[in-house]
Structure 1
Amino acid sequence: MVLIFILAAITLAAAILNARPPAKTESDLQALLPIWKLEKGIILSKAGDATVGLKIELPEIFTLSEMEYESLHVAWLKAIRVLPVGSILHKQDWFTAERYSAMPERSQDNFLQLSSDRFFNERPYLAHQCYLYITIKAPGRKPASSGYSSLLRRSMVPRELTDSSILQQLQGSIGQFCRILSDSGFVAISVLSPEEIAGTGKTQGIIDRYLSLSNDQREPVLKDIHFKPDLKVGSKRCLVFSVADADQLPASCAPKLNYDKYTTDRTKFFVGFATPVGQLLPVNHIFNQYLVLEDPVQTLKTMEAKRRKLQSLSAYSRENAISRDATVEYLNEAVADARTPITAHLNVLCWTEDESQLKEIRNAASAAISKMEVVPHEETVGAPQLWWAGIPGNAAELPENECFYTFAEQAACFFNLETSYRSSKSPFGIRLGDRLTGVPLHVDISDEPMKTVCTNRNKLVIGGSGSGKSMFMNHLCHSYVLQGAHCVILDVGHSYEGLCKLLGGYYFTYSEANPIKFNPFYIPAGDYLDTEKKESIKSLLVGLWKANDENFRRSEYVAISNSLQSYFHFLSGHREIFPCFNSYYEFLQQHYIKELEAEKVKDRDFDIHNFLYVLRPFYRGGEFDYILNGSENLELLSQPFVVYELDAIKDHPTLFQVTTLVIAEMFISKMRKLKGIRKVIVIEEAWKAISRAGMAEFIKYLYKTVRKHMGEAITVSQEIDDLISSPVIKEAIINNSDCKILLDLKKFANKFDDIQATLGMTDKGKDLVLSLNRANEPGKRYREVYIELGNTIMKVYRYEPSIEEYYAYSTEQREKMKVQEYTDKYGGDIRKALRAIALEEAA
């Protein structure tokens, strides 16, 4: 009977249980969310923890030397030591896959810039933001664990949060922490504002972004979060790799890691120790780094108790004996080296919306972690708790069982120390590319450095044949002219012919059929005859009249000066006469001789007949009657792009002398008269011929004076031996060029020590230069360029031209002929020609 009663009761209970609704498997995130509120920019959790959020600007990747990595590591350690015992440092680095979005449409005048916009549009790259959260746990707070987490329960706000002393303590520690890091000179820190943390309703804050794993700061969108069977945020599948056990760690670590791709047999190239899981892991991921500052006394007591326990058990198991020895080593190091004992945890959270990519991401993340010689471990069971602890302000929920004992010195080695390249905030600059992906950057190598590390804008450009030197210089000059600069180029080799046609500039070159022509006597409308102009013409006339070893008397100087004054006065009354050397020569014959006779000037004071005889070859019908009587391309002062191609005349004593004197006069005139306009003179390999022609003093004057007139002088060379041996280069150019631009010099690696000494380059600069083009991305047409500013800022950029830019700037004869062929085909329109070539090549 009793048995029947028991069976009936069981049956009834089963029926009641079956009638109950199923257990609820969903929870409202708002109810579970561990964040209580923001108070004066401080994140307060429901468990009683207080957190300050910081945004950190790290050094750009590939820009730190071995010693700088060590210095930055020391700065982090100093900052960590000022934080109170029990606080948690949570460094969170976001790396999100983005695509470059071209700037808004520009005017058709910027044809090549538009082609570059199209070329780079949608170029993938990895964006990076670094956040740091410093948390003080509530007094008496029970440590979190995988089984005891606020993810699994609700919390009540403790009374201690009403005590303002806790918040004051946190703010005081943060102030010291930020000051130490900022004073290191490597990082910039700012406190996150309430809007950056919580958003505004129309924009997402960092908490909303984390809960949706989104880098989009627009209006937040609610997403479901699934923990089973795998971690999933909205449509994003997540993978979590953790470092939660000391057994996973390498035998040794350091702030930096040798980067084999850029290392040579003569140099070593370094990146940050954790960079493989940072910038070098090209997937969407967050790298979380946690340091829990334990009570040193209590930690050592705990470890000592552990040692004794392991000692007693060591006879039963070899594993116990090994663990005992490791604990002894830890205690010895803590005492002997006065280390800061902490517990730490690292994890990498990767995600994708394409499940087919999971295997590839898993392999990439595991390989990246292995490069630090860390044993990768993919979290499955504990992934939800680790994701939960990653919510900004919720670091105290990091499970204690997911942490390992170590020291701050070692743990800080696992900090991500680098970020992606940043664009300049200056309105002026040129477009270059990030070294890793080539994504466009706006780089100012002229004005912005003048505020910090440079005293002049002058530049020295060095690159071997085929290094991309001409391509880069075309791009620089084109960018400058589009931004309002005037550019004068002295070239040998026709490197700027295509660009000059595109910009509608003046191109002076010599051939038998069309010899080079100038007119120093012509004064454009709106200009005037000033002392500088007269002095330049006098210098030209004297240079043509007198040999270098002939004396030049004061009376002759006065006579020539008076002749010019009278000539231009004569022209003002005879507008029908065209100013040129011919009319000046005729004025001397017909009028000035009479003035000299009237003033009874003797031949010994000024021999006018000798003067006319020596200058006769430059007058009508003479051997060089073309060179000073030009009637085209006369508006030199207002023309922003002027090229002098000197290759055919660089060895001709007369033509080259006249040309260099005219160029000097023209640029000095621009320099002094064009107020508020940037003036640039580019001296290609012509500097060798100029220095031979007695123009070394002009180069020295130019390099020392041009900065006062918002100008810059740029010298370009590929002859390394000349660079090392030339006193003109060393004294005038190198010493007065705060910007040095070097392209591929691998072929000179054996003599680079001499180059380094001549340029005053540091070992850091040498390592960067010799790393150029060593690991270029396959399938892309670009060259790397090293830029050094004031011996302080040193970076390597890509220069990757669009197809249109490439053909416009190319110096290859075959490609130049192709451009000319297409230009003729399209009726002389070089833009249509370049576009047609680009479409043909892209097809």
Structure 2
Amino acid sequence: MRNTLKAATIESKFPLLSVEHGCIISKDADITVAFRVDLPELFTVTSAEYEAIHSAWAKAVKVLPDYSVIQKQDWFTKENYKPETDREDMSFLSRSFERHFNERPYLNHTCFLYLTKTTKERMRMQSNFSSLCRGNIIPKEVNKDTAVKFLEAVGQFERIVNDSGFVRLTRLASDEITGTPESAGLIEKYFALSLDDTTCLEDMELGADGLRVGDKHICLHTVSDVEDLPGTVGTDMRYERLSTDRSDCRLSFAAPIGLLLSCDHVYNQYIFLDDSAENLRKFEKSARNMQSLSRYSRGNQINKEWVDKYLNEAHSFGLTSVRAHFNVIAWSDDAEELKHIRNDVGSQLALMECKPRHNTTDAATLYWAAMPGNAGDFPSEESFYTFIEPALCFFTGETNYKSSPSPFGIKMCDRVSGKPLHVDISDLPMKKGITTNRNKFVLGPSGSGKSFFMNHLVRQYWEQGTHVVLVDTGNSYQGLCEMIRRKTKGEDGIYFTYTEESPISFNPFYTDDCVFDVEKKDSIKTLLLTLWKSEDDRVSKTESGELGSAVSAYIERIRADRSIVPSFNTFYEFMRDDYRRELEEREIKVSKEDFNIDNMLTTLRQYYRGGRFDFLLNSDKNIDLLSKRFIVFEIDSIKENKELFPVVTIIIMEAFINKMRRLKGVRKQLIVEEAWKALSSANMAEYLKYMYKTVRKYFGEAVVVTQEVDDIIASPVVKESIINNSDCKILLDQRKYMNKFDSIQALLGLTEKEKGQILSINMANNPSRKYKEVWFGLGGVQSAVYATEVSAEEYMTYTTEETEKLEVMQKTEELGGNIELAIKQIAESKRNKN
């Protein structure tokens, strides 16, 4: 029985012969080299940088020989986020974060570049001679000399583009093109219109009614005629949604049909390098013919003028005549949705001022020619003449945000799609030489989500083994600290705050291991001198020496006699009885003018048992802060107290310096919230100045968080030491300071690019998602805006709303102290309400 169906197998029409040494060889003897292209991230490129990228492409294209085809193929595929909830070491909040983003849709971008060497005859072929239309294909022989010269030119092309520093080309190996038994290759993925490794081939329909690959219905838009082009093109364009009258947000000229087109699509960009001199001769001849016929048709006269303009440009500026073509292949499983996609593609092309042309005539041959390695099959009538420079303006210049390859970091979100990203702002920038320290400076006005972001950051740092010491002024970390305390059964999550019922209490004389190094002894001596002397009093060498000797003698005593409870009470008694007796029995007497022990004991009497501040240095909880990984000092209620505040600041300093010196190879983080309040103490100001310069040597980082710009400027310590020694700057919504942002820019040393990014924060937020944006700037080299979006469980942990905090605590008590279960139930009820 005769088969009447007009169907053929792919094998019979397949134009490719083999893949050898990473090159695709076609049956028509075309050689193609394939690259994976890494582009810079969205919203991180300035106009000047787009110019530099364009210039690098132009230089690279010019080294390729005649009759070469440059095909850049950008894949934009819709994917859903797959959460990582199967790790055993995941905390309750980390698992909640991952579950919150389960199945979150986003547009994934992958870019490939194919450089093809073909022949003069192949470059002139039209769609009726495509390998799709031929009955059989007779393989031709590759010219060895031509192939060698082409591969040398490809090597130069790769080097020029990579040296630009913005775009990275990585040559694809043979297995990546052909695939392996375990994963699909590039050609197989193209025929399935899917970048999944587990993709499988399906039937294809390349007919007059349209294209279909499996269940995917395809529409194809082309820019293939001079009449379809905009009046002017550029390397980049202004993105109005994230620009202000004071700042610019730039995207590449082709961005509307790139990441801004939110459907499954492939954007193909072609440049065909003919013999430029021959092209120009052809145009000269055409111009003369039009001139001779101009009296019969005004159209000939006008066309002659256009051709003359083209020739004048080419000869005046030494431009290379090339042909170009651009098309968008979009698809959907739903034929009805395809109509909307067709409209979307058309409207995005119109944004570029191109005339949208939905192509049905040559759709099959254009899809076939876009196959990796088959650019020589491209129908020549679908291209238009131009120069290299304007053709390159249609190349997409950016990709979506990428996760950091570093094992350490924090989870943020892509500001466009909301996809979770792993971002390292501490270690990787140091390794790459982008920053020289891990210190951070955080600036954000009230209500910008500053405390919320800091809760998110410190929680993730703590979960990754960091020792965190926080100086807070507003109970911002109370919820997180309480959760850590209950989770660790009181072993961690230490919260120091002052209330009348439960006054703040320390014991600087207690250590778990009874180790008192020089730093620890010095800090106790400094504390005692601060309690004894006022700021105006001079401390003599004798007083400092005697007090140091007394501290050392007391430490030896408690080491020898473990029945003595280390505290200020027993130290006071040791000074009053034993040390005073030892002074009196000395051969060389110490005069009262040099060291007045009675005056000291009288002054310190208020910190001894029964005194006004006897609670302060006699804590009976025996907490050694060295081993605690999350410590919060809430100083808001005591910052005006002249007796308590200096003591608390010294204990904070001592606690962190002790960690810094003794914990080798352990990450440490000191965070000072609303630093200007803490800096009102001269001791604390000098300490922070020292800390910012020293902490990097001990695998640590100091972080200052503030909301008022004027406070930064007012403090010379912050201005000179903190800002200059913070290579990582973190800014939140600065629109309140729009009119005085120039002073912030000058103070922080921000570039125009960074200013544009910062002023775009929260300008075009997705109303269907609840998040705030934050800007990270690393060493003036790398910067980007990310979104802080969290799960309902994390929100209830971080919240600073009094009613919500009370709700969590009440629920926790009802459930017998299980705070995680309480938060889980409250979060679930809120989700159900929504």
TM-score norm. by structure 1 comes to 0.96
**What secondary structure, in the 3-state scheme, does the structure 1 residue paired with 2:723 have?**
helix
| Residue type of the alignment partner of 2:663 | L
Deviations 1:528-568 (A, max 9, x none): 01101000000001111111221211111121111111111
In structure 2, the residue matched to 1:557 is 544
| Residue type of the alignment partner of 1:182 | N
In structure 2, the residue matched to 1:572 is 559
Q: Aligned partners of 1:402, 1:204: CA distance in 2, in Å?
A: 31
In structure 2, the residue matched to 1:516 is 504
In structure 1, the residue matched to 2:273 is 293
Contact 2:50–2:236 at 8 Å: present in 1 too?
Answer: yes
Deviation at 1:165, TM superposition (A): 1.8
In structure 2, the residue matched to 1:506 is 494
| Residue type of the alignment partner of 1:480 | Y
| Residue type of the alignment partner of 1:114 | R
In structure 1, the residue matched to 2:148 is 168
Q: Aligned partners of 1:724, 1:553: CA distance in 2, in Å?
A: 35
Deviations 1:325-356 (A, max 9, x none): 22121111111111121100000000111112
Deviations 1:701-752 (A, max 9, x none): 1000000000000000100111233211111110000000000010100000
Q: Select 1:39's aligned residue among 20, 45, 60.
A: 20
**What secondary structure, in the 3-state scheme, does the structure 1 residue paired with 2:747 have?**
helix
| Residue type of the alignment partner of 2:326 | L
Contact 2:224–2:325 at 8 Å: present in 1 too?
Answer: yes
Q: Aligned partners of 2:88, 2:504: CA distance in 1, in Å?
A: 34
Q: Aligned partners of 1:200, 1:572: CA distance in 2, in Å?
A: 68
| Residue type of the alignment partner of 2:436 | T
**What secondary structure, in the 3-state scheme, does the structure 2 residue paired with 1:359 have?**
helix
**What secondary structure, in the 3-state scheme, does the structure 2 residue paired with 1:147 have?**
helix
Deviations 1:79-134 (A, max 9, x none): 11111111000000000000000014234761111100110010000111110000
Q: Select 1:597's aligned residue among 584, 590, 593.
A: 584
Alignment of 1:440-589 (within 5 A): 440-452=420-432, 453-504=434-485, 505-525=493-513, 528-589=515-576
In structure 1, the residue matched to 2:44 is 63
In structure 2, the residue matched to 1:810 is 799
Residues 1:219 and 1:782: Cα distance change in structure 2 (over 3 Å): closer
Alignment of 1:588-737 (within 5 A): 588-599=575-586, 600-632=589-621, 634-737=623-726
Q: Select 2:248's aligned residue among 244, 268, 275.
A: 268
**What secondary structure, in the 3-state scheme, does the structure 2 residue paired with 1:112 have?**
helix
Q: Aligned partners of 2:647, 2:827: CA distance in 1, in Å?
A: 41
In structure 1, the residue matched to 2:728 is 739
| Residue type of the alignment partner of 2:670 | I
**What secondary structure, in the 3-state scheme, does the structure 1 residue paired with 2:112 have?**
strand
Is 1:83 the counterpart of 2:70? The answer is: no
Q: Select 1:117's aligned residue among 92, 98, 102.
A: 98
Q: Aligned partners of 1:139, 1:160: CA distance in 2, in Å?
A: 15
Deviation at 1:22, TM superposition (A): 5.8
Alignment of 1:183-194 (within 5 A): 183-194=163-174
Q: Select 1:329's aligned residue among 306, 309, 312.
A: 309
In structure 2, the residue matched to 1:7 is none
Q: Aligned partners of 1:65, 1:782: CA distance in 2, in Å?
A: 26
Instruction: Give the gaps of 5 or more residues in structure 2.
Output: 486-492
Q: Aligned partners of 1:592, 1:523: CA distance in 2, in Å?
A: 22
Contact 1:202–1:220 at 8 Å: present in 2 too?
Answer: no
In structure 1, the residue matched to 2:767 is 778
Deviation at 1:309, TM superposition (A): 2.7
Q: Aligned partners of 1:513, 1:835: CA distance in 2, in Å?
A: 31
Q: Aligned partners of 1:814, 1:364: CA distance in 2, in Å?
A: 45
Contact 1:646–1:686 at 8 Å: present in 2 too?
Answer: no
Q: Aligned partners of 2:817, 2:299: CA distance in 1, in Å?
A: 83
| Residue type of the alignment partner of 1:187 | V
Q: Aligned partners of 1:142, 1:119: CA distance in 2, in Å?
A: 52
Choose 424-433 or 139-148, whichever is displaced more: 139-148
Q: Aligned partners of 1:104, 1:632: CA distance in 2, in Å?
A: 38
Q: Aligned partners of 1:691, 1:174: CA distance in 2, in Å?
A: 63
**What secondary structure, in the 3-state scheme, does the structure 2 residue paired with 1:637 have?**
helix
**What secondary structure, in the 3-state scheme, does the structure 1 residue paired with 2:218 have?**
strand
Contact 1:138–1:160 at 8 Å: present in 2 too?
Answer: no
| Residue type of the alignment partner of 1:239 | C
Choose 457-466 or 263-272, whichever is displaced more: 263-272
User: Number of aligned pairs?
Assistant: 822
In structure 1, the residue matched to 2:754 is 765
| Residue type of the alignment partner of 1:368 | Q
**What secondary structure, in the 3-state scheme, does the structure 2 residue paired with 1:601 have?**
coil
Alignment of 1:206-355 (within 5 A): 206-218=186-198, 220-355=200-335
Deviations 1:516-536 (A, max 9, x none): 0011111113x5011010000
Q: Select 1:374's aligned residue among 354, 378, 397.
A: 354
| Residue type of the alignment partner of 1:105 | D
Deviations 1:145-192 (A, max 9, x none): 12121111155455541x322221121011111111111100111111
Contact 2:481–2:495 at 8 Å: present in 1 too?
Answer: yes
Contact 1:203–1:220 at 8 Å: present in 2 too?
Answer: no
Residues 1:794 and 1:109: Cα distance change in structure 2 (over 3 Å): closer
Contact 1:506–1:633 at 8 Å: present in 2 too?
Answer: no
Contact 2:123–2:376 at 8 Å: present in 1 too?
Answer: no
Deviations 1:270-311 (A, max 9, x none): 111101101111100000000001211101011112222333
| Residue type of the alignment partner of 2:518 | T
Deviations 1:659-683 (A, max 9, x none): 0000000100000111111000000
Q: Aligned partners of 1:633, 1:796: CA distance in 2, in Å?
A: 44
| Residue type of the alignment partner of 2:532 | W
Q: Aligned partners of 2:506, 2:32: CA distance in 1, in Å?
A: 72
**What secondary structure, in the 3-state scheme, does the structure 1 residue paired with 2:804 have?**
helix
Choose 607-616 or 23-32, whichever is displaced more: 23-32
Contact 1:492–1:684 at 8 Å: present in 2 too?
Answer: yes
Contact 1:522–1:580 at 8 Å: present in 2 too?
Answer: yes
Q: Aligned partners of 2:416, 2:540: CA distance in 1, in Å?
A: 64
Contact 2:28–2:140 at 8 Å: present in 1 too?
Answer: no
**What secondary structure, in the 3-state scheme, does the structure 2 residue paired with 1:406 have?**
strand
Q: Aligned partners of 2:520, 2:135: CA distance in 1, in Å?
A: 85
**What secondary structure, in the 3-state scheme, does the structure 2 residue paired with 1:346 have?**
strand
| Residue type of the alignment partner of 1:167 | A
Is 1:127 the counterpart of 2:108? The answer is: yes
Instruction: Give the gaps of 5 or more residues in structure 1.
Output: 1-19
Q: Aligned partners of 2:706, 2:254: CA distance in 1, in Å?
A: 39
Identity %: 46
**What secondary structure, in the 3-state scheme, does the structure 2 residue paired with 1:653 have?**
coil
Is 1:182 the counterpart of 2:162? The answer is: yes
TM-score norm. by structure 2 comes to 0.97
Contact 1:303–1:327 at 8 Å: present in 2 too?
Answer: yes
Contact 2:175–2:185 at 8 Å: present in 1 too?
Answer: yes
**What secondary structure, in the 3-state scheme, does the structure 2 residue paired with 1:231 have?**
strand
Q: Aligned partners of 2:756, 2:445: CA distance in 1, in Å?
A: 17
Choose 821-830 or 490-499, whichever is displaced more: 821-830
Q: Aligned partners of 2:153, 2:446: CA distance in 1, in Å?
A: 56
Alignment of 1:381-392 (within 5 A): 381-392=361-372
Contact 2:208–2:361 at 8 Å: present in 1 too?
Answer: no
Q: Select 1:106's aligned residue among 74, 87, 93.
A: 87
